[in-house]
Chains A and B, each alone.
Chain A
Amino acid sequence: GQNIDQPTEMTATEGAIVQINCTYQTSGFNGLFWYQQHAGEAPTFLSYNVLDGLEEKGRFSSFLSRSKGYSYLLLKELQMKDSASYLCAVRDRDYKLSFGAGTTVTVRA
């Protein structure tokens, strides 16, 4: 099974940078995903890491270290619309995703 931990909530100022950490313990790692979820909506895909290193996609970047069971999602140039829950999810070899509890990010003006 998977054991996934991420902080419950974070607050940052518009224009700032926030880093959301995720640690996991898994049997059969097959990729790590980050999703954004606004209240009442389904999660939307942000990033995918299966090899160690940094994946950059616009204002969002995600990092993975498989040996440490660690990932982070970096949000740059924060905007008000980035206020949402961010979900870390680990996929196993059966392609099942297990989710962390989510990190609620609040962006303040």
Chain B
Amino acid sequence: GAVVSQHPSWVICKSGTSVKIECRSLDFQATTMFWYRQFPKQSLMLMATSNEGSKATYEQGVEKDKFLINHASLTLSTLTVTSAHPEDSSFYICSASGGEVLAFFGQGTRLTVV
């Protein structure tokens, strides 16, 4: 299957700092990338949809100024958690889709804000 690489796998940061998470499609061009968040023992919740070269579309209740998404190329999307707080600690996962390529997920990023 298609390969989606997400980096970093885990990160610990201090409250008030910003964290950038990268999502790359390695062997296909991802016209659309999705960012999800998963809290312990809960399912994945879609945060935003990112299309290459355009602004991301955020789901209701997700602050666009706090979760900055950039999809500058067909193989890279980034999610920046700005001014992170402990309640932002979660498992963040990206997925990529392109044409006939089905939705595959990155490895996920475990964010802990202390």
Instruction: Answer whether residue B102 sits at the interface, using C-beta atoms and an 8 A cutoff.
Output: yes
Could you tell me if A42 and B93 are in contact, using CB atoms closer than 8 angstroms? yes
A37-96 with Cβ < 8 A to chain B: 40-45, 48, 87, 89, 91, 94-96
- Counting CB contacts under 8 A, is A24 at the interface? no
Identify B32's interface contact among A43, A95, A101, CB under 8 A.
A95
Q: Are B46 and A97 in contact (CB under 8 A)?
A: yes
**Is B104 within 8 A of A45, CB to CB?**
yes
- Given A95-B32, A96-B34, are A42 and B105 neighbors across the interface (CB < 8 Å)? yes
| Number of A interface residues in the complex (CB < 8 A) | 21
Contact at B49–A97, with CB atoms within 8 Å? no
* Chain B count of residues within 8 A CB distance of the other chain: 22
Bitwise interface map of B from 25 to 55 toward A, beta carbon under 8 Å scored 1, else 0? 0000000101000000011111001000000
Do B49 and A96 have beta carbons less than 8 Å apart?
yes
* A-B CB pair tally, cutoff 8 Å: 48
Residue of B nearest to A91 (CB): B103
Closest to B92 in A: A42
Flag if B97 contacts A95 (CB, 8 Å).
yes
Q: Is the CB of A101 within 8 A of B43?
A: yes
Does residue A98 face the partner (Cβ distance < 8 Å to B)? yes
Docked complex Cα distance between A95 and B32 (Å): 8
Q: Binary interface profile of B, 90-114, with partner A (CB < 8 Å = 1, else 0)?
A: 0101010100001111111010000
Are B103 and A97 in contact, with the CB atoms below 8 A? yes
CB of B8, distance to nearest CB on chain A (Å): 13
The listed residue (B46, B97, B108) touching A98 by CB distance below 8 A is B46
Q: Is there contact, CB below 8 Å, between A44 and B103? A: no
Judging by beta carbons under 8 Å apart, are B43 and A99 in contact?
yes
Is the Cβ of A100 less than 8 Å from the Cβ of B103? no
B1 at the interface (CB under 8 A from A): yes
8 A-B pairs with C-beta separation under 8 A: A45-B1, A48-B102, A96-B34, A97-B46, A98-B46, A99-B43, A99-B44, A102-B43
B residues at A contact (CB < 8 Å): 1, 6, 32, 34, 42-46, 49, 91, 93, 95, 97, 102-108, 110
